[in-house]
Amino acid sequence: MSAFVDDDKKPSTDAASVATVDIVIVEGIEEPRERVQSNDGTSKGSPTASGETNTLSSLLGKKIQLEFGCSTEALVQRVVPLAYVGCMTTFLRILGESEETNDERTIYSLTNRIVSMFKILSDPEGSHVEILTEVEDSLDSCHDKPILALNRIGTLVRIVEARGDPSKLRELGKRIMRLEIVHKYAALDIKERLADEIYDDDMVHETDVDEVSVYLTFETLLRPELDLPIDAEAISYMDTECILGSNLEKARVECLAVQDVAFENWLTSWSEWQREQRRSFAEQNLAWNLLPVTKDAWKYDTSQSTDLVGYLLEPDDTIVFRRSVLSLEDFIAHWVPTGRDFANIPVSVDDVKEHLFRLKT
């Protein structure tokens, strides 16, 4: 049985049903929405019922004022490291020119996704590096690349929100596995088209494959049916060639055919699920008074041992792991998210069971 859909609910894959999907897609490309310019001539927007135009800048400013009590510029200065402020400013400007700002529904969705990103950045324990890397890397290509980056950031936001809830994380895992399959076929589509380059003695005649557009086309068109964990609903440059090719349909069929066993195998190898297993184990087993007492306490002088901040260790927080005296709180805070010790060596749950001890007070 499929891990994702009931057998009697699987959509038909006969030629007629596939052709219908293609017709709808092609018609959507041939009739793009009308673009609306804002007063400053740069940021597009969507007309409201009163005839006014909502720009991303204005909506984002109102939402950020409501959520954080400051302007967008002030929030960027507050939560973004100085080295990345310029990148973030450019990122927001390009998003303000994206296709999603042309429709009233999608511009509100885009606004909320950006606010969710800032909530993670404002959290001291948030995944800052991953987000800032996506932002920076999105500025070296077409105007759709920030939308692709925001999709990836949105997936990260969902992961952060699901942490600590095994059921929610498992369901999200199904969606992320499908997204990985979609990306596999998008990469295959790009590879096959690049292989069609024509070589002669003097030059290479390059194809005009836009990798960002290919990935976004796959994600955007397959998102509704496959419940992909991304949010983009409109892009500026749909890749018509991959729509008319076979890989889009292959991705859809493979996603819908995933079996329970295959999903469970994928889940056990997923880094976020491994993190959840460490978190659950730590919560249930790593209270100081539940740890076994080391038989070699005489080997350790803890009188000058400190935690990571530099404070002397409290007796009921002092542990020994692989012959190192540590703070139990520090160890858990580092091991759960990384799966490694302070020497950057991988540490499994079995390793913790075998090598973690408390010192008798």
| Statement to judge: residues 61 and 171 lie in one domain | yes
Q: Which amino acid is at 221?
A: L
| Statement to judge: residues 88 and 139 lie in one domain | yes
| pLDDT value of position 53 | 63
| Statement to judge: residues 242 and 149 lie in one domain | yes
| Residue 65 to residue 59: CA distance in whole angstroms | 10
| pLDDT value of position 48 | 53
Q: What is the pTM of this model?
A: 0.76
Range of the domain at 249: 7-268
Give the CA distances from residue 246 to residues 27, 32, 176, 253, 360, in Å, rounded to whole numbers and listed in that order: 18, 24, 22, 11, 66
Q: Is residue 45 part of a domain?
A: yes
| Statement to judge: residues 256 and 301 lie in one domain | no
| pLDDT value of position 352 | 97
Cα–chain-centroid distance for residue 165?
17
| Residue 122 to residue 253: CA distance in whole angstroms | 40
| 8 Å CB contact between 50 and 103 | no
| pLDDT value of position 164 | 95
| Statement to judge: residues 259 and 303 lie in one domain | no
| Statement to judge: residues 252 and 310 lie in one domain | no
| Statement to judge: residues 212 and 79 lie in one domain | yes
Q: Is residue 1 part of a domain?
A: no
| Residue 63 to residue 132: CA distance in whole angstroms | 21
Q: Is residue 301 part of a domain?
A: yes
Q: Is residue 2 part of a domain?
A: no
Tokens 């349909």 sit on residue: 249
| Statement to judge: residues 262 and 289 lie in one domain | no
| Statement to judge: residues 194 and 116 lie in one domain | yes
| pLDDT value of position 199 | 53
| Statement to judge: residues 253 and 317 lie in one domain | no
| Statement to judge: residues 259 and 296 lie in one domain | no
pLDDT string in tens for the chain (361-residue length)? 445 544 443 434 333 333 323 322 222 322 333 333 333 334 455 555 445 567 899 999 999 999 999 999 999 999 999 999 999 999 999 999 888 888 887 889 899 999 999 999 998 877 788 899 999 999 876 667 888 899 999 999 999 999 999 999 999 999 999 999 999 999 999 998 888 765 544 555 556 778 888 999 999 999 999 999 998 877 767 777 878 789 999 999 999 999 999 999 999 999 999 999 999 999 999 999 999 999 887 788 888 899 999 999 999 999 999 989 999 999 999 999 999 999 999 999 999 999 999 987 5
| pLDDT value of position 6 | 41
Query: Which sign does the torsion angle of CA 59, 62, 64, 67 carry?
Result: negative
| pLDDT value of position 29 | 27
Tokens 């709808």 sit on residue: 24
Cα–chain-centroid distance for residue 322?
34
| pLDDT value of position 112 | 92
